[in-house]
Amino acid sequence: MADYSLGIDVGGTFTDLVCADSNGKTITEKLLTTPQNQAMGVLEGIRRLSSSFGKNEIEFLKEVSVIIHGTTVATNTMLEYKGAKTGLITSSGFRDTIEIRRNYKEAAFDIHLKAPHQIVPRRRRFGVTERIDYSGNIVKPLNEGEVREVVSKLAEDGVDSIAVCFLFSFLNPTHELRTRELIRDQLPDVQIALSSEVLPQVREFERLSTTLVDAYVTPGLSRYLSSLDNQLRERGFLGEVFIMQGNGGVVSLDIAKTQGIHALLSGPASGVVAGAQLGGVSGFDNVITIDMGGTSFDVCLVQNGMPKTGTDQWMSRYRVAVPFIDIHTIGAGGGSIAWVDEGNALRVGPQSSGARPGPACYGFGGQSPTVTDADLVLGYIDPASFLGGEMHLDPSKAKEAISTNVAGPLNISVTEAAAGIFRIVNNGMSNSVRQVSLAKGYDPRDFALTAFGGAGAIHAGALVEDLGIETIIIPKGTAPVLCALGDLLSDLSVNRVRSFYGRASEINLNELHDTCVLMEKEASMQLRDQESHLIQSNTYFSLEMRYLGQTHEVSVPLIENIESITKGINKTLQKFHELHETLYTFQKPEDEIEILSINLNLVGVRKKPTLPKNTLSDSGCEHAQSGSREVYSFHTRGFMETPIFDGDKLKPGNVISGPAVIEETRTSIVLFNNQTATLDAHLNYIIEIRP
């Protein structure tokens, strides 16, 4: 009996699946997402995969030992504000902290900027009498009668979820824990999120906002995951389901159903994981990953094989302070809509045509021109081979949409309009790359660009010219479904954060050591039931540090093993100075340093598919040329007869010089005049940009 692992990624436009057998051989599938019920697209993708193996769905699923799923359910819940009916219980006098939000305003001088959408309206926010001080001492006992009264009101309002956030509960969670018991007495089935468990660290607004988001998204995610799991079991699946998290790791289904906050950005995170590993096997440990799908463009910086992580994410204008891979996202995908604003300027996105109706060229009724329509008009996409020939695109509908909505209003040709759409979307993507590199002290020219997603390989060649990057890595075959492959390549991960305030000159190293040991023990309990899936576990600690008087921290990895922390703290302090200089161009070794919190990432290394390595061929690539067609060149500002290559016929070691288009099953790789692509032994296209 075969043993299969299945990675599934549901995006805004497409649902991707990658199935790997025990030898590392992979088969991929890509189909339109079913936004009304994501499980429909997932199950249809599984049915198609089973047919590829010559089996029926039940036979196939019985041989699948593990499914790793990246989902947009939690993210879409926040983007669309369709979360659970949620209530909030806070310390008396603090129910409006979520609206005061530390006086933060996205556009400080925009007097017309509306307040964020209230995911919990004021009528469902209540304060109760209790108080714990800054040392964790109980100043005022919890008024249990008030809690019962508040819960009764929330019950009458029909809430599905309740968030609890008391002052200084991260130091002493006694009152929050008792409040949960009181809620359970009256509402045994309601979802409850405690701030002392979701984000036990200093800063009231961040903790409250993060806890509210968790309470808001978890019930919907839990229902989806339970429904999907039941349908899989009904179809014969006997293995285990893991869910991708925004930190780049996976957790069991049962844990994911109770911690929806960590499923935000899970899809983009898996793409970064795969991009980092594929770059590493080809000799590039420093890469910038770009994922251009149908709806969004996601970019992340990877240094020394490790994606950058952070706790400063915002989601739909709500602060989400749990650790996530540091991904910068904009609305720039193949489905992003091009439009002309009131000033007669051409704009692209952030609105997207989605899976339905999709770009005009899909023929599903879409009337708005999109990036995909522009790529088709420019000759970068073959209308007959889109999605491996499963969909036939209509160039006439693409031209009509661009003519009506862009070329006509601007009094330019359709070709000029399409080229303008291409340049403008690329400019926005270039700025995103600068946000994760130059804005944080890194020169993008020191990195290779790993491009994936259905449209990433089409636009990457133009991006690097603007950024000065000299190397592009495009995974062969898996680039359009790399997030699904990343699911298979991800490890189990447990994140913990704990407040630990102290000045470096006065720090109690024994207390720091004991706190780290306790955090590691708690995290290890979460992996206890997964030991059969693990090869080993690795523990990574970091400290949130800042100079005395600053308001923002720098996350500094602990240099020494935690058992040697009393000897290695000086190295950690020195690392803080160096990182501070990288980020802010200066360091002040003479100044006092504050430690605010401890972050733990416990990684359970899973058994994963092996990445292939092939023998290089010294044959030419003439056999792979399938013909030629008119393709737009930005160098000549016109169409040129350009050779077209069949990616399925290329062998490791083959070299192709631009201009050219390599047609893979579900994407096209566009090579411009000064670019040369070599298919390496690991089945990555390494594109070098000649001066």
How far is the C-alpha of 116 from the C-alpha of 130, rounded, in Å?
28
- Chain-wide mean pLDDT for the chain? 90
Instruction: Report yes or no on 485 lying in a domain.
Output: no
How far is the C-alpha of 330 from the C-alpha of 247, rounded, in Å?
19
Quote the number of domains for the chain. 4
Please tell me whether residues 515 and 581 are part of one structural domain. Answer: yes
The secondary structure of residue 334, as a DSSP letter, is: T
pLDDT of residue 169: 95
How far is the C-alpha of 123 from the C-alpha of 88, rounded, in Å?
10
Cis omega before residue 219 (within 30°)? no
133-147, 264-278, 623-637 — most confident range: 133-147
Average pLDDT rounded to a whole number, residues 116-145: 95
Q: By the 8 A CB rule, do 77 and 48 touch?
A: no
Lowest-pLDDT choice from 148-157, 208-217, 301-310, 602-611:
602-611
Q: Residue 124: which pLDDT band, with cuts at 50, 70 and 90? A: very high
Tell me the CA end-to-end span of the chain in Å, nearest whole number. Answer: 53
Average pLDDT rounded to a whole number, residues 137-164: 97
How far is the C-alpha of 291 from the C-alpha of 333, rounded, in Å?
9
Strand bridging mode 287-292 / 250-252: unpaired
Q: Which of 549, 575, 606 is the last residue of a domain?
A: 606
Q: Which residues of 661-691 are buried (b: 16+ CB within 10 A; e: fewer)?
A: bbbbbbbbbbbbeebebebbebbbbbbebee
Please tell me whether residues 172 and 69 are part of one structural domain. Answer: no
Please tell me whether residues 89 and 206 are part of one structural domain. Answer: yes
The answer to whether residue 12 scores a pLDDT higher than 80 is no
pLDDT of residue 458: 94
Please tell me whether residues 133 and 205 are part of one structural domain. Answer: yes
How far is the C-alpha of 644 from the C-alpha of 535, rounded, in Å?
44
The answer to whether residue 560 scores a pLDDT higher than 70 is no
DSSP letter string, 373-393:
HHHHHTTSS-TTSGGGGTS--
The answer to whether residue 103 scores a pLDDT higher than 70 is yes
Please tell me whether residues 94 and 73 are part of one structural domain. Answer: no
- 201 vs 12, 135, 171, 198, 483, CA distance in Å? 33, 13, 8, 9, 31
642-648-654-660 Cα dihedral, nearest 10 degrees: 10
Instruction: Report yes or no on 241 lying in a domain.
Output: yes
pLDDT of residue 566: 63
The answer to whether residue 293 scores a pLDDT higher than 90 is no
Q: Which two tokens stand for residue 553?
A: 């921290």
How far is the C-alpha of 321 from the C-alpha of 329, rounded, in Å?
17
Q: Which two tokens stand for residue 440?
A: 């944080």
Please tell me whether residues 122 and 101 are part of one structural domain. Answer: yes
Instruction: Report yes or no on 289 lying in a domain.
Output: no
The answer to whether residue 658 scores a pLDDT higher than 60 is yes
DSSP letter string, 12-28:
SSEEEEEEE-TTS-EEE
Instruction: Report yes or no on 399 lying in a domain.
Output: yes
Q: Residue 410: which pLDDT band, with cuts at 50, 70 and 90? A: very high
Of 562, 489, 493, nearest to 527 by C-alpha is 493
18-22, 110-114, 206-210 — most confident range: 206-210
Please tell me whether residues 203 and 234 are part of one structural domain. Answer: no
Q: Residue 561: which pLDDT band, with cuts at 50, 70 and 90? A: low
Instruction: Report yes or no on 381 lying in a domain.
Output: yes
Q: By the 8 A CB rule, do 649 and 631 touch?
A: no
Q: By the 8 A CB rule, do 98 and 205 touch?
A: yes
Average pLDDT rounded to a whole number, residues 321-335: 87
Q: Residue 592: which pLDDT band, with cuts at 50, 70 and 90? A: very high
Q: What is the CATH number of the domain that holds 140?
A: 3.40.50
The secondary structure of residue 622, as a DSSP letter, is: G
Instruction: Report yes or no on 456 lying in a domain.
Output: no
Q: Residue 567: which pLDDT band, with cuts at 50, 70 and 90? A: low
The structure's pTM equals 0.86
Cis omega before residue 643 (within 30°)? no
Instruction: Report yes or no on 468 lying in a domain.
Output: no
Average pLDDT rounded to a whole number, residues 93-110: 90
Of 672, 666, 630, nearest to 648 by C-alpha is 666
Output 224-229 pairs: Cβ under 8 A, ≥24 positions apart: 224/38, 224/39, 224/71, 224/73, 225/71, 225/253, 225/256, 225/257, 226/257, 227/39, 228/39, 228/42, 228/69, 229/253
The answer to whether residue 262 scores a pLDDT higher than 90 is yes
Average pLDDT rounded to a whole number, residues 158-179: 96
Please tell me whether residues 250 and 354 are part of one structural domain. Answer: no
Please tell me whether residues 258 and 152 are part of one structural domain. Answer: no
Give residue-wise pLDDT tens across range 613-653: 888 887 788 888 989 999 999 988 899 999 999 998 999 99
Please tell me whether residues 497 and 559 are part of one structural domain. Answer: yes
How far is the C-alpha of 583 from the C-alpha of 586, rounded, in Å?
8
Of 88, 72, 316, nearest to 215 by C-alpha is 88
Question: Which alpha helices (H) appear in 6-143, and where do they start and end?
Answer: 38-52, 57-62, 73-80, 97-100
Q: What is the CATH number of the domain that holds 498?
A: 3.30.1490
Give residue-wise pLDDT tens across range 422-437: 999 999 999 999 999 9
The answer to whether residue 34 scores a pLDDT higher than 90 is no
Please tell me whether residues 72 and 95 are part of one structural domain. Answer: no
Instruction: Report yes or no on 635 lying in a domain.
Output: no
Q: Which of 568, 587, 606 is the last residue of a domain?
A: 606
State the DSSP H helix or E strand holding residue 660, giving kind and residue range, or none if neither. Answer: strand 660-663
The answer to whether residue 148 scores a pLDDT higher than 60 is yes
Identify how many contiguous H helices and E strands the chain contains and give both numbers. Answer: 18, 35
Please tell me whether residues 59 and 115 are part of one structural domain. Answer: no
Average pLDDT rounded to a whole number, residues 670-690: 93
Average pLDDT rounded to a whole number, residues 185-210: 94
pLDDT of residue 563: 66
413-417-423-426 Cα dihedral, nearest 10 degrees: -160
Strand bridging mode 328-330 / 324-325: unpaired
| Residue whose tokens read 């429904």 | 227
Q: Which of 424, 454, 473 is the last residue of a domain?
A: 424
Give the 3-state secondary structure of residue 188: coil
Residue 122 is part of which domain span?
82-211
